[in-house]
Each structure stands twice: as C-alpha cells, then as structure tokens.
Structure 1
Amino acid sequence: MPRVLHLEAEDLPDPNVLHTDDGYYVYATNVPDVNVPVVYSPDLTNFTLVGDAMPVLPAWARPGFTWAPDVVQVGDRYHLYFTARLRGSRLQVIGVATSDHPEGPFEATDRPLLTMLDQGGAIDANVLQASDGTQYLYWKNDGNAVKKATHLWGAPLSADGLTLAGAPTDLMTATEAWEHNLVEAPQVIEDEGRFHLLYSCADFQDETYAVGHATGLTPLGPFSKYRAAPLLASQGRIAGPGHSHAFRTATGQWQLAYHAWEAGRCGYPHGRRALYVSPLHLSADQAHVALPLDLAQASD
C-alpha cells in the first residue's frame, strides 16, 4: 500500500523531479531494498511513496549502488538515466532505462550508456531538452574515486535519447575555495535565452556541501561561474544542501529540489538527507534560492 511520507524524517538523497499532467514524481538514490525510490505528489505538499521505479537492475550493474536518477519524457515514453556500479569493477557508470509510465517499471538497456573508466567512471547524469528540440546529457567524471580531478561534462544525445550524438565537452572543474576541489551533480536549464548550469561541490557528507551556479549562451557553454559564494549553502536548520534539481511547476514557476542534512546531524548512520523544495529566481547572470524562514533561521 502506498505510504504517506513525512519528508524531514525520510532519506531521499539526490532528488529529481518530473512534472506531469497528473502531478509531480520525485526519484532518489537507492535506499535499502529499493533501487530507485519514486515518490508522487499532486501538489508539492503531500507526498506518497509509490515504490521502486527500477526493481530489476541490468545484468551489468551491481546492486546497492544505484544513484542520482534523472527521468525525462521522450515522446510518449519515459527515460530514466541512472548511475550504477559496473560489475567486475569498483567504478560507477551511467545507464539508461525506459518505461511507458513515470512510476515505472523501467527496463535498462543491456549495456551502459557512458563509462569514462579512464577518468574514474561517470556519475550524476542529467538531461536538458532544449527549446530547439535537441537533447543534451550532463554528468561528472568520478575522478575523486581514483584520485583524479573531477570535471563536469556535456554532450548532445541522439533523438531517441539512448546514445551520445557527439563528443563530450569539458564544461568546468573546481576553481573556487568553497568548492573544495570537487564538482558534481550538474544540471543545465534554459531560461529566456540563457543557459544556467547548477552543480554541487565539496563533500556531500558534511556541512561544506553546496550548490554553485554558472551561466552561458549555449547548452555546452562556455559557462561563467558566479564566484563570490555558492547559490545554496548551509544555513539555519539545513546543512550541506546539494544535488539539486530545478523544475517548473504547473504555473511555470521555477523551483529547486535538493537534499540536506539537519544541522548538527551530518553524515550516516545518524543523519538523513531529507528532501526540500524552494523557489528559484533567475535573471540573465544571477540566481537566488528563497528559503522558508523556518529553514533559514538560526538553529537552536
């Protein structure tokens, strides 16, 4: 039976939100016994756990490492882009799965979409469906898994969304002190002729984790960072906010979904990465996330 969720008590890391005519679906990184948790909300206020969007993993994937899902609608079908551990390897790679329904079940292709094993693997897939009809895939090479630099990458996708349609472009790496030598979880969104690159940085396990912002004139950049400070960082009751996903509501307003620890309770096993959704305001070169007062106020 579907279970009503109290979000601040749930562990829903790396959230991704799909808006459909029926409401909103939220997908998250695996939790025990669930490869891709999927949550439904009709109004972004009430949330119900639907189940596992991909209950059967492909043969090439090891269980227990299914991270950072991204679901997009392509024609009358739905595509799930996901990170998983490659069997026979300690590295993560990116796969794609398809379904007729947003809640799944999704069936993965028989081989990964992207590996980049020489760069530590590939994680954190996200897709932009640009206004000209072109699709782009964005991801991170998991360099920190093999003591290499992390970069954010992008490439055009084929019309069916199942293969790359061009060579990867290196979009950026960590350059600012507050990024702590690590960037990940890229998402590019399009707004009034500008492309906004949102990304996470630092260590997801503690309060340094944050969301950065950059802008460009094309889906593949070049992107210019806003260097003064992160777009979203620890504040009040939330600690280490990150792995964000921007989406439009039914009224066309931008919102930002992200996970965060509770201040003073960062890291497993004592903490949890709860889901939050906040208004996102964009201008040509700037962005602002409006936190509710009960989150932004100083913690007790």
Structure 2
Amino acid sequence: MRPFSSPSPFTWVTCTLAFLPAVLTTPLPKRTQGVSMGLDTDFPDPSFLKAQDGKWYAFGTNGNGKRIQVASSDDFSSWTLLDIEALPTLSSWETDKEHYAPDVILRDDGKYVMYYSGEAKSDIGHHCVGTAIADKPTGPYVPSDTPFSCRLDQGGSLDPAGFEDADGTRYVTFKVDGNSIGHGGDCNNGIAPLVPTPILLQKVQPDGVTPIGDAVQILDRSTADGDGPLVEAPSLVLHDGTYFLFYSTHCYTDEAYDVRWATATNITGPYTKTNVELLKTGDGLISPGGATVCGCGDRMLFHGWCDDSKKQRCMYHAGVDLSGQTANIV
C-alpha cells in the first residue's frame, strides 16, 4: 500500500521520540466493537510478531522520521512507538524515498527476517520487495544485496508477508502492483482496461529469503466481487485445516477501503472469496485496511485514517475469531 505522502527521511522534520506523549502508549476508547486504538500517530500497514523476549513488536511503513517504524507492547493492548530506525542502511537497488509495509518473521536459527517494499532505482515510482536480517526484533536490519521480487514490467512488487505452514515450510505472499501502471482514475486503475493486481505465493528455503521455484497466483481483483481497482495487503494464516487469506480492496484513500478474506484447503488454492467486509468504514473507523492477522488466529493489527482530515493513518488492534471458514471481530 502507498502512504498518503512519502518524502525522503532526510527531508522529514525529525522529532525526538524518547519522551513520547502518553497518547502513543495508551489505547484510546474503542471505536467499533472489538476494536481499539493502538497508536494515535502515523503508523500505516502494521505487521507484528511475538519475539523471543516475550514482547510483541509491530512494524510500520515510513513515518515519524523513520524508514521502518517499530513499536512494542507487553500485552498487545498498550503500544509504545520506539525511537528506533529498524533499517539504517539500504541496498544498492533501492532509493531512500519509499519504504512500505514491512513484515518480520523469526527464523529457526533465531535470526529475524524483514520483508519490505522499497522504490527501485531502475524504475522510479515502482517498487521491489527486499529482505533484511537482524539479530534482534528491533534491528538493525541489514538488507540483502538483491531484491526478493521486482516484476517491474508488471508494475512492481509490494506488501510482502511471511508465512510458515504446519510442516515448517516457509512462504512469502506479496502483491503485484499492477495499478501503478494503470490508466488513471481510482488508485490509477479505475479506467479501462483495468490492470491485474494479483497476490502471489512464493515458496522459500528455511532461510526465508531464497525462492524455491516460481511464485503462484492465489488471488486477484474482480469487478464482479466488488474489489474496486485492486486487492492488496495479503496476510495468510492456517486455522484448523483452513487457510485464511486476509486482504484489502479498493483504494486506501477511499472510504470503501476495507479488509476481507478468502479461504482454501490447500495453500496454493483455489481460494474462495467470501466478499464479506470484516472491517469497513463506520463506527469511528475510516478506511480500515492493511491488516495483519496473528498466526495464532486470535488477534490483528490494521490501520485507518486517524480522523476526517485523512492526513495520518493510525494503528488499531482487534480480537479475531476464526471458525470453519468464517472470521469475526470479537
């Protein structure tokens, strides 16, 4: 997903976060049933994991003077934005401008692997998925020399997320950013002919970064399903033998932006869309999306516009109940 604005970190006004206001560490009253504010500041596309130290860590798109933002929590309810740059160095393939939708996994050897989207120097305005490795959840993450996926001829690659299957096999899901080469209109893909924005599944080695074979398509946008110009922000979990693929539809600037899910009994699909809006605008939420669901299947983080000015996207947390092929906010 693209942020509302994405200036270089070196052009941002750097704010000292060591003495954060209480609003960043205390959840606000619930907006909609089962949903609470986690961070009342710009923290789009949040992903998270529980680290070896027992704490929860969340990672967000560039903002607050950082390329990759980090927050922590002891209880998944009260979150603190940390004054940490998780990605202090860059790879040679990327610019210093746009870093979107990071996701972090804990590898079997105790290393942390970050997947993220960075702007390609070879094709300004389009993105590749990069990988970076650290010894601690907060970094510093050291980027790989080569990108994980680019597909620049199809618009680029965005929104990576790691997944470990029941047998320990690792995968990465990501979106092909077809709307970036669309023909204008809503999210640059509202004018026919509409461009595909498929979500792909890539099997990887146990190191989490080395692809095995070719990626396979597991979802795409469909006008018939009411997806608008795109599908994006995949988050894959396995619960009681069912694969749940959570994703967002429409444009992040639009109040129709939402979170939906599809299900499958095989990791490669076919995935059947439910076309149910798990999260949508209303009851205090504005354009909720970019959700990450815990592998445990019982909690999630997502973003939504902080207020009607639509200048920043705050982070929210919610409880989730998965039953059969149904997902609910609890």
Q: What are the superposed Cα offsets for residues 56-85 of structure 1, whole Å, 9 maximum, x if unpaired?
A: 121221112100000000021000000000
Give 1:163 deviation, angstroms: 1.6
Structure 1 stretches lacking a partner, 5+ long: 291-300
Letter paired with 2:90: L
Note if 1:155 corresponds to 2:202: yes
Q: For residue 211 of structure 2, give the secondary structure of its aligned residue in structure 1.
A: coil
Please name the residue that 2:218 is paired with: 171
Give 1:263 deviation, angstroms: 5.4
- Please point out which of 163, 170, 173 is paired with 1:138: 173
Distance in 1, matches of 2:77 and 2:274, equals: 31
Equivalences for 1:106-121 in 2 at 5 Å? 106-121=141-156
Give 1:162 deviation, angstroms: 1.4
Give 1:88 deviation, angstroms: 2.6
Note if 1:265 corresponds to 2:309: yes
Q: What is the TM-score with the length of structure 1 in the denominator?
A: 0.90
Higher RCO (C-alpha 8 Å, min separation 6)? 2
Distance in 2, matches of 1:201 and 1:161, equals: 27
Please name the residue that 1:123 is paired with: 158
Asked whether the 8 Å contact 1:200–1:242 carries over to 2, the reply is yes
Please name the residue that 1:59 is paired with: 92
Note if 1:43 corresponds to 2:75: yes
Distance in 1, matches of 2:20 and 2:78, equals: 11
Distance in 2, matches of 1:177 and 1:217, equals: 21
Count of residue pairs brought into register by the alignment: 282
Sequence identity (%): 29
Distance in 2, matches of 1:80 and 1:253, equals: 21
Distance in 2, matches of 1:178 and 1:52, equals: 38
Note if 1:240 corresponds to 2:287: yes
Equivalences for 1:1-300 in 2 at 5 Å? 1=18, 3=20, 5-6=24-25, 7-20=38-51, 21-50=53-82, 51-75=84-108, 76-90=110-124, 91-147=126-182, 148-175=195-222, 176-227=224-275, 229-247=276-294, 254-262=298-306, 264-266=308-310, 271-290=311-330
**C-alpha RMSD over aligned residues:** 1.6
Letter paired with 2:50: H
Cα pair distance change 1:103/1:278, threshold 3 Å: same
Q: What are the superposed Cα offsets for residues 130-150 of structure 1, whole Å, 9 maximum, x if unpaired?
A: 110100110100000001221
Asked whether the 8 Å contact 1:188–1:219 carries over to 2, the reply is no
The range that moved more, 47-56 or 189-198, is 47-56
Letter paired with 1:141: V
Distance in 2, matches of 1:275 and 1:139, equals: 21
Distance in 2, matches of 1:242 and 1:39, equals: 18
Distance in 2, matches of 1:206 and 1:273, equals: 13
Q: What is the TM-score with the length of structure 2 in the denominator?
A: 0.82
Between Structure 1 and Structure 2, the one with more strand by share is 1
Give 1:177 deviation, angstroms: 4.8
Cα pair distance change 1:34/1:245, threshold 3 Å: same
Give 1:31 deviation, angstroms: 1.1
